[in-house]
Amino acid sequence: MVELEGALNCRDLGGQPTTDGRTTRSGILFRSDSLRRLTARDVATLLDLGVAANVDLQSEEEIAYFGRGLLERAPITWLPVHEPALRPRGERPEGEGDVLLARYREYLNEAPTAFVRAVAALAQPGHLPAVINCFFGKDRTGVLCALVLDSVGVTRDAIVADYAASAARLPVLLARLRDDPDPVVRDTIARTPAPYQDAQPGTMAALLDDLASHGGAREWLLAHGAVTSDLDDLREHLVGAPARHDVAALG
């Protein structure tokens, strides 16, 4: 975890194993819940970590209402990915089964270009290290992180575990939101059904199965307009070089 006072679900995506025996580099890509309440110390922490850009998956309405807090003045490039279909949806569950999986499938079906734009933004020169965020840091952020990690070759189990790690942070995050000074936040949390306030491994495992049916996240992104060079550059930046003994074995 990255310890911040104003965000409670922030972590580094480094150290994730890949299918070819490598790992993702630490300090390159971070994921987080809302950054609107970061303190000056938090901003300094992000800058010390080298964070150069913020891929913000919140809706225009969320940003207009909450603002960006101290990040507004920080030397971190803001990369908003505005897409109506990515608006948070927690009014009530519809139908039976995994309502979060249904929501994530809806994201992929209704807003594929938003995720492609986000991946393209991350791949541009000067935009790494970066932090990805939405409100809880588990749904929109979880889907984008899964797409990125799968596209660079991170193992299925590691992607599932990373997604599910948010579950341990949700109790303290929800407790803070229930006591938020803003009555709109308190009311929204009170009205959000419990199934939306979770992050179970099976949800992400099923979403990865969906992506696998398209050939994996890389092929899914390419089919929806991603550029091969962007995906290659992202992998080069995010995944470490093979260990020396692996290089020797290749020789």
Residue 54 lies in a domain: yes
Number of structural domains found in the chain: 1
Local confidence band at 89 (pLDDT 50, 70, 90 cut-offs): low
In the structure, what pLDDT confidence band is assigned to residue 193 with cuts at 50, 70 and 90?
confident
Residue 154 lies in a domain: yes
**Would you state the pLDDT for residue 82?**
81
- pLDDT band, very low/low/confident/very high, at 243 (cuts 50, 70, 90): low
Q: What is the SS3 assignment for 137-172? A: CCCHHHHHHHHHHHHCCECHHHHHHHHHCHHHHHHH
Catalytic annotation present for 134:
yes
pLDDT at 40 exceeding the cut of 90: yes
In a domain, 248, yes or no: no
Percent of the chain with pLDDT over 70: 92
pLDDT tens column, 149-187: 999 999 999 999 999 999 999 999 999 999 999 999 999
Question: Would the pLDDT of 208 be above 70?
Answer: yes
* Of 143 and 89, more confident: 143
Q: What is the pLDDT of residue 242?
A: 79
Given this model, what pLDDT does residue 217 score?
A: 98
Entry pTM = 0.94
Task: Indicate whether 93 pLDDT > 90.
Answer: no
On whether residue 250 sits in a domain, the answer given is no
- Determine the pLDDT at residue 241: 81
Statement: residue 86 has pLDDT above 90: no
Residue 6 lies in a domain: no
Where in the sequence is the domain holding 111, given as residue range(s)?
11-236
Instruction: Look at residue 249 and tell me if it is in a domain.
Output: no
Q: Establish if 112 belongs to a structural domain.
A: yes
Q: Of the residues 4, 86, 122, 134, which is catalytic?
A: 134
Instruction: Check whether 92 has a pLDDT greater than 90.
Output: no
Residue 91 lies in a domain: yes
Q: What is the 3-state secondary structure (H, E, C) of the chain?
A: CCCCCCCCCCEECCCCEECCCCEECCCCEEEECCCCCCCHHHHHHHHHCCCCEEEECCCHHHHHHHCCHHHHHCCCEEEECCCHHHCCCCCCCCCCCCHHHHHHHHHHHHCHHHHHHHHHHHHCCCCCCEEEECCCCCCHHHHHHHHHHHHCCECHHHHHHHHHCHHHHHHHHHHHHHCCCCHHHHHHHHHCCHHHCCCCHHHHHHHHHHHHCCCCHHHHHHHCCCCHHHHHHHHHHHECCCCHHHHHHHC
Q: What percent of the chain has pLDDT over 90?
A: 86
pLDDT at position 87 over 90: no
CATH code at 130? 3.90.190.10
CA distances from 24 to 62, 132, 160, 205 (A): 31, 16, 15, 20
Instruction: Categorise residue 97: left if φ over 0, alpha if ψ from -120 to 50, beta otherwise.
Output: left
What is the average pLDDT score of the chain?
A: 93
